[in-house]
Amino acid sequence: MTTHIKVHGYHIDIFQHVNNARYLEFYEADRWEWMNKRNFISWAIKNNLTMAAVNINVNYIQGVLLGDELTVVTRMDKIGTKSAVCYQQIIRNKAGAQEVVSDAYVTFVFIDNIENKAIVIDEQLREKLESFKVGSEDFIQN
């Protein structure tokens, strides 16, 4: 999955670069697209599940400036018993070259909306999550 973002004035802070909190918004935008493309959100709602991020580790490699054209990519990295981890990159597209400006690992759990507690990832959910492991061809090796 990829999301394309052009950095506009409203993305910039008083120091004339994209603030670190905006990177989290860019990452989240791509995760929503990632899930929507696979009809995962409607499936989760139908099954009374909520996906909740419990840990985000972000590396800020280079600053992003006004006018930069970015591509955000996401893939499933690991699926455990109670949590899963996706890996994401923000790539700057400049003068025909691509460079990673940030990457992140996002750990999330699934909440049963009726019981209001985290669940064990069962076979059906695991199968859905396995389908998110594709798409690694868009990533840049660091």
Predicted confidence at residue 131, as pLDDT, reads 85
Percentage of the chain beyond pLDDT 90 is 71
The larger pLDDT score, comparing residue 114 to residue 141, is at: 114
Question: What pLDDT is recorded for position 3?
Answer: 86
Nearest-angstrom CA–CA distance, 97 and 14: 28
Residues 64/120, Cβ–Cβ less than 8 Å? no
Beta bridge partner(s), residue 97: 94
Q: Is the pTM of this model over 0.95?
A: no
Distance CA 37, CA 41 (A): 9
Active-site residue (options: 13, 30, 122, 138): 13
Is 13 in the active site?
yes
Contact 112, 48 (CB under 8 A): yes
Confidence of residue 126 (pLDDT cuts 50, 70, 90): very high
SS3 5: strand
* Residue 125, H or E segment: helix 123-130
pLDDT in tens, 74-121: 999 999 999 999 999 999 998 889 999 999 999 999 999 999 999 999
CATH code that applies to domain 1-129: 3.10.129.10
